[in-house]
Amino acid sequence: MMDQVHKYHAKLVGQGLVDGQGPVELYGLDDEIYTNREAVPEAVTALFSRLNINSLIIARPNQVQWSIIQELSRLNQVLICPCDCESLTFIHDIPLVERLEASAVARALNRRKGCIVKDVGIVTTGSVSLEQAFISFSSICFATFVKFFADCLNGLTGFGTRPEPRSLDILFSIMEPCRPLEGANTLSRDIPRGEDAILASLDQAGKIVVDRRLVDSFFGNISYRDAGTVYISQTGSSLDELPGHIDRVPLDGSSTCELTASSELLAHVRVYERTGDTAILHGHPRFSVIMSMHGGPLGFGENRYVADVPVVAGEVGAGRHGLVHTLPAAMEQTHAAIVHGHGTFTSSPHALSEAFETLAGIERLCYERYRSLVAANA
């Protein structure tokens, strides 16, 4: 269990979710409660006894994220309700708790994966593994970031309540630190030849997408088409830990691998059919998601554009309102599209490096577009 404690502590730090300015406590239950602390506090022991969990994270996010959460807590008092689709589906809402007291926190966590404790930080749990608690922690950070920036922009541009002066002060103070990460594209531009090369390229692409913080926790997916086979990340897999989690799906239906493949497999297949491309990346870049929601709800079948990139509506899956019906056509000309309140898909007829460059480039454009709109309307 201690190896899991160390692993997810390293992930919290490595992905910039925490910066050491507050508590970063991880607990995992096996034959006893294991932790990175010297001792297990009574409140933590009480939470393990009150809840059906085997893991717990109590941590204060990085300073920028914490300022966002504190402001949202001031404005909302009881619950923070996310505005992006993935967060609404995965964490629903985020309870606010006054103090780190076992009974109060247990009540909040009885029906939710995490909560925010005033003056302490984020508390998340897992019923099976520390990975679950880590995913929920990361997701709460993503959900609150997107909500704060989206609410400010929509309020400034007439699509919501105008932000209070205090909120605007916070917004302007954190804009520069929130600039998308820059760096060299280290992915090979060569077309991978053979299964081993394809798997290696998927692994490398997944890692750089996570390193550049273009995807939240274990969300997003990635695929590569080689003749009649699609290699695609499994549903629920972490893009920075893809070895052993790539499914080989024959397009002739001769395998049942699609049962464990990404839930967006069919959308990938339809994009390949429509574009003739061979590589697809899907991430959740924060400003791309925020800008996709600028202007309010988007009806199914409607389009809008952000920096010449089409924004489409669509749910996960192949249902009546599934993105499988909207995404392929949108990507036919641009090889990119943003799904409203969800994330960005990019494709390439060559290597994954091109799809990655497009994904990162769209996020930079969305960030600059956000800054210009805020500056013009503040």
Residue ending a domain, choose from 122, 148, 174? 148
By C-alpha distance, which of 285, 341, 350 is closest to 311? 341
Report yes or no: 298 and 340 within 8 Å, Cβ to Cβ: yes
Considering the domain architecture, whether residues 140 and 280 belong to the same structural domain is answered as: no
pLDDT of residue 264: 84
pLDDT of residue 307: 82
Does residue 301 lie within any of the structural domains? yes
Considering the domain architecture, whether residues 141 and 204 belong to the same structural domain is answered as: no
Residue ending a domain, choose from 88, 115, 148? 148
Residue ending a domain, choose from 148, 181, 210? 148
253: domain range? 195-377
Does residue 175 lie within any of the structural domains? no
Q: What percent of the chain has pLDDT over 90?
A: 83
Considering the domain architecture, whether residues 210 and 331 belong to the same structural domain is answered as: yes
pLDDT of residue 318: 60
pLDDT of residue 257: 59
User: Tens digit of pLDDT for each residue in 186-207?
Assistant: 999 999 999 999 999 999 999 9
Q: What is the DSSP string of 137-165?
A: HHHHHHHHHHHHHHHHHHHHTTSSPPPPH
Does residue 20 lie within any of the structural domains? yes
Considering the domain architecture, whether residues 234 and 303 belong to the same structural domain is answered as: yes
Mean pLDDT by 10 residues, the chain (378 residues): 95 93 92 94 95 96 97 94 91 94 95 94 96 96 98 96 97 97 92 95 96 85 94 92 94 66 85 96 97 90 89 78 89 95 95 96 97 96
Considering the domain architecture, whether residues 362 and 267 belong to the same structural domain is answered as: yes
This model's pTM is above 0.85? yes
Number of domains composing the chain: 2
Does residue 337 lie within any of the structural domains? yes
Does residue 135 lie within any of the structural domains? yes
> Residue 122 burial (CB < 10 Å; 0-12/13-18/19+)?
buried
Q: What is the DSSP letter of 293?
A: T
pLDDT of residue 286: 97
In order of 2, 39, 254, 351, 365, the CA distances from 205 in angstroms are 29, 40, 27, 10, 21
Considering the domain architecture, whether residues 349 and 222 belong to the same structural domain is answered as: yes
Does residue 154 lie within any of the structural domains? no
pLDDT of residue 260: 61
The mean of the pLDDT values for the chain is 93
Considering the domain architecture, whether residues 9 and 139 belong to the same structural domain is answered as: yes
- Which CATH number is 339's domain given? 3.40.225.10
Does residue 308 lie within any of the structural domains? yes
Does residue 42 lie within any of the structural domains? yes
User: Tens digit of pLDDT for each residue in 331-373?
Assistant: 998 999 999 999 999 999 999 999 999 999 999 999 999 999 9
